[in-house]
Each structure stands twice: as structure tokens, then as C-alpha cells.
Amino acid sequence: MKSLQRSFKELLRYPSAVASLAIILVLLIVSAYTLIAIPYGEAIVLWRGGENIWYQSPKNAPPAWTNFFTSKKLVETMIFNTDDEDINKTYEVSEAGNQTVTFEFPIDYQFDTFPQELTLFTKGTFVEKAPFISIVLVTPDGREIRITDFAVQKTGTYRFSQDDRLARRVGNQFPHEAIFAQPGSDPLVPLKGEYVMKLSLVTFEADSDVDAELVVYGQVYGIAGTDHLRRDLKVALLWGIPVALAFGLLAALGTTITTMSISAIGTWYGGWVDELIQRITEVNLVLPLLPILIMVGTFYDRSIWTILGVTILFSIFGGGIKTYRAIFMQVKESPYIEAARAYGAGSGRIIFQYLVPRIIPMLIPQLVTLIPSYVFLEASLAVLGLGDPVLPTWGKVIQDAQSNGALYQGLYYWVLEPAVLLMLTGLAFAMLGFSLDRVFNPRLRGI
């Protein structure tokens, strides 16, 4: 215990170790947060839910912070809902006994571009006679643009861009652009300022009402942006952290521990046991892991646990067997092992209490450096279309980006975000591994 503490203190002398520990700590905190804030079930729904989950987000929108780096301010997604607290409905009863309901959506438009799309989702409450809605947009310079009017059904979707009449009214332009433009400009130039969308409806029944939601689809969205299905990449990027860490750690631990045990057993017993292990290793070393995983994924199962199991299985008899064997061969001849035999220690005890602990200091740095290689492996499999079919992971984001031509469309964020996270994770573990090696290795000289 004390020596562990000492090693840790020594480790903190290396700035790279401190940096990598900080990165790993952040990754751990974020994955803990993710697992709590977006539990598995919710993540699956958010990632695979379908149009009714993602309808509020724009398509292929870069993250909102890209606005900091561009001189043009891109439209951010804005959502207005009659359920919001600051939206007040005013009710008035006319002489005819009809009720008029009015409400306004104030749109603060300070952008240099136009929204991707503008959609009004409506939900009418009525028994027989549908309420009637009319929409007017008041521009900052005082113009009133009549948008449309229609009878509100139980549910309705009004897409500004697809209203031909509105298009004609605004001079045969895209309506969702033209209404935010300076009058007479060609090409269209946005008019910044406070817009007010006034919605007034007439209801013909008592208790009849309309709930509305206006979505101004921006060109940027959230902290991570969205993909071709309007999905928020944040979900996949956040979930990718625990998945990557768990896969990397489990695979690294699983392979290292079993490899070391098998190697120790072979070295200790020698003879045919050792021969067998060596031959299996030699054969296995020339078997390519990736094609095997691709075959398993294609013909059997693509679940991350299957892939993890197969990965561990094939990595056990890797080069590690030979490396550890070389060390064990030396340790095996140590006088302390001979002494243990002389006082009656059995083979099992000698292997796991005398041989294995001797190489643990060497093992820890190796294990840590192994983690990123398995994280990358999982990502590569996902890119090849063999990722877990359910879980959102970094690899799958890259695969989606690639198969939807993200780079041709200039959607760099789509590829860069998961790639940067992968590199960061890899870098952190690699740096930590190297520092650990420096801490532990001087003590290995004795072996």
C-alpha cells in the first residue's frame, strides 16, 4: 500500500502524467454524468427514436459554438411553445359568442443568415368545429407580413418553406428566408431585430383551444450539432465515453490478466503445456484479428459484448505470452521460488503468489497503454459497419458521417468531434502508460 502511494507521488512529478490523469478524470466524471443524466433507455430512445423525437432539431447542423469562429453569425435553433411560461394567451369573447385567442412569439433575430426551415406544429382541442388560426409576422421595421390562415386540426404541421402562396406573396423567394430579409434585397440580406409572430385564433366551442409550437431551425445546434437524421450528436458523443472506456478497460484487463496467467502456467509447468501454449500463440499471432471480427460481426452477432469477448479471446494468445514468458523464465529460477518449493508451496500458489506479483509493476503501464488500442479497435469496427447495433458510440458517429458524405458537404464537425474525443482518450492513456513505465521501470532492473 505504501509503495503504491509512493509510486503515485512519483507519478505526479511528470507533467504529462498529470495532464493525462486530468483528462481521464474529466472523461470519468462526464461518463458518470452521462450515465445518470441520460440513462441507457433514454439514450437508446434519443438515438433510435425516430422523427417524433428529433423533429425539433435541424438537419446536419454544426454545433452552436462554431459561431465564435465565423464572422457571419449563423442562425441558432429557437423553439417557442404556448406551454412556455413567458408566452401568454389572451382570451376575448365576441358578441357572436365566439372566442378569440391571441398570443405572440417574440423572435429576436440577430443573425447573418437565414434559418434552415420554419415550422409551426399545432394541436387543436375541439369536438366538432375546428378553430381557425391566422398568423402575421411583424418585422422590426414595422411591416406586417400575413403568413397564412387555416383551420386547426387535432394535430397539424405547417411548414413555411412549402407554402406556395406565401412564396408568391414575398416575391417568389423561399418564404422562410424572405420573411427575415430586408425588403427589396437581392440576394436576400437578413434584417436583424425583434420580430413578433402574432397568432390569433377563433374558436367556436367552449373549451376549444389550440397549442402551438414554432421551431426556427437554425444552421447550428447545441454543443455538438446534429446529423442527417436531426439527431443530437451530443447523445452519441457523451455515451461514447463510457462505452469506449468500458470496452478499452475490460478488453485490456481481460487480455492482460489471462495472458499473464497462461504465460505463468506454461512457464512454470514447462514441458508439453509450455509447448502447446507456444504453438497456439505462434499460430494465433499470424491470424488477423480484424477480418475475424468482421466475420463474427457479419455472420454471428454485432453486440459489443460478443465483439469484446472475441477480441479478448484472440488477444490472449498474443505477443504478451512471449514477453511475459521471457520474464517468468528468469523469475522461475529465483532463489525465493526455490525456497518456496522447499517449504512446500504448491504450483498454484507459486504461480499466482510468487511469479505473477513479480511482474505486476511491469504489467500496469502495459495495461494502461493497451486501453486506447482497444478503444480504437471498437471505433474501427464501428466505422466498418460492425459497431454495436444499439449503443451510440464514437465509431458509429464517424461511420454515419462517412456514409452520408459529411466531408464532401463540408460538415467537418461530424467527423472531427468523435475523432478528437478518440484521440484525446488515446493520448491520455498512452501518456499515462509512458509515465507509469518510467515510474515502475527502474525497479524492474532487478528482474
Partner 1 sequence: MTENNVVVDTRTEHKEGKLLTIENLQVWFELRRFGFGNAGYVKAVDGVNFDLHYGEAIAVVGESGCGKSSLMKTILGLNIPTRGEVTFDGTKISGMGTKGLKWYRSQVGYVQQDPFGALAPFMTVERILEEPLIINGVKSKTERLRRIHKTMEEVKMFPVDDFLNKFPHMLSGGQQQRVVIARAMIMEPKIIVADEPVSMLDASVRVEILKLMRGLQETHNLAMIFITHDLSTVRFFSERIFVMYAGKMVEKSPVDELLDDPRHPYTLALLAASPEPDAANAHTYKEVPPGEPPSLVTPPPGCRFHPRCPHVIKGLCDEKEPPEFLTGPEHYTACWLFQSEQA
| Cβ closest to partner 1, residue 13 vs residue 349 | 349
Question: Cβ 366 to partner 1, closest distance in Å?
Answer: 18
Question: Cβ 341 to partner 1, closest distance in Å?
Answer: 6
What one-character-per-residue DSSP string does 303-336 give? -HHHHHHHHHHHHHTSHHHHHHHHHHHHHHTSHH
What Cα–Cα distance (Å) separates residue 114 from each residue in 68, 69, 261?
Answer: 17, 18, 63
Residue 98 contacts partner 1 per CB under 8 A: no
DSSP structural state of residue 162: G
Question: Cβ 259 to partner 1, closest distance in Å?
Answer: 20
End-to-end Cα separation, the chain, in angstroms: 21
Residue 127: Cβ within 10 Å count: 10
Question: Cβ 354 to partner 1, closest distance in Å?
Answer: 6
Interface with partner 1 in residues 395-434 (CB under 8 A): none
Question: Cβ 369 to partner 1, closest distance in Å?
Answer: 22
Question: Cβ 337 to partner 1, closest distance in Å?
Answer: 8
Interface with partner 1 in residues 331-350 (CB under 8 A): 334-336, 338-346, 349
CA angle 161, 167, 168 (to 5 degrees): 165
Question: Are 433 and 365 a contacting pair, CB within 8 Å?
Answer: yes
Q: Out of 47, 103, 354, 414, point to the residue binding partner 1 (CB under 8 A).
A: 354
Question: Are 356 and 260 a contacting pair, CB within 8 Å?
Answer: yes
Phi, psi of 334 (to 5 degrees): -65, 145
Q: Out of 230, 231, 358, 396, point to the residue binding partner 1 (CB under 8 A).
A: 358
Question: Cβ 70 to partner 1, closest distance in Å?
Answer: 58
Question: Cβ 308 to partner 1, closest distance in Å?
Answer: 31
Residue 83 is inside which H or E element, if any? none
| Cβ closest to partner 1, residue 157 vs residue 347 | 347
| Cβ closest to partner 1, residue 330 vs residue 403 | 330
Residue 147: Cβ within 10 Å count: 23
Draw the binding track, 374-393, toward partner 1 (x: CB under 8 A; -: no contact).
--------------------
Question: Cβ 358 to partner 1, closest distance in Å?
Answer: 7
Residue 8 contacts partner 1 per CB under 8 A: no
Q: Out of 39, 183, 357, 442, point to the residue binding partner 1 (CB under 8 A).
A: 357
Question: Cβ 356 to partner 1, closest distance in Å?
Answer: 10
| Cβ closest to partner 1, residue 132 vs residue 268 | 268
Q: What is the 3-state secondary structure (H, E, C) of 97-144?
A: CCEEEEEEEEEEECCCCCCCEEEEEEEEECCCCCCEEEEEEECCCCCE
Question: Are 371 and 250 a contacting pair, CB within 8 Å?
Answer: no
DSSP structural state of residue 85: T
Question: Cβ 11 to partner 1, closest distance in Å?
Answer: 19
Question: Cβ 360 to partner 1, closest distance in Å?
Answer: 8
| Cβ closest to partner 1, residue 313 vs residue 340 | 340
| Cβ closest to partner 1, residue 300 vs residue 336 | 336
Binding residues for partner 1, total number by CB under 8 A: 20
**Rounded Cα distance, 153 and 336, in Å:** 86
Q: Around 377, how many Cα atoms within 13 Å sit in the side-chain half-sphere?
A: 27
| Cβ closest to partner 1, residue 257 vs residue 350 | 350
| Cβ closest to partner 1, residue 48 vs residue 443 | 443
| Cβ closest to partner 1, residue 276 vs residue 360 | 360
Interface with partner 1 in residues 298-337 (CB under 8 A): 334-336
| Cβ closest to partner 1, residue 110 vs residue 330 | 330
CA dihedral 82, 87, 88, 94 (to 10 degrees): -60
Nearest residue to 315 via CA among 297, 290, 289, 292: 289
Q: Which residues pair with 91 in a beta bridge?
A: 101
What b/e readout covers 401-439, taking b as 16+ CB neighbours within 10 angstroms?
A: beebebeeeebebbbbbbbebbebbbebbbbbbbbbbbb
Dihedral sign, Cα of residue 102, residue 103, residue 107, residue 113: negative
Residue 183 is inside which H or E element, if any? none
**Rounded Cα distance, 269 and 267, in Å:** 6
| Cβ closest to partner 1, residue 54 vs residue 268 | 268
| Cβ closest to partner 1, residue 295 vs residue 360 | 360
Q: Which stretches of the chain bind partner 1, using CB under 8 A?
A: 3, 334-336, 338-346, 349, 353-354, 357-358, 360, 446
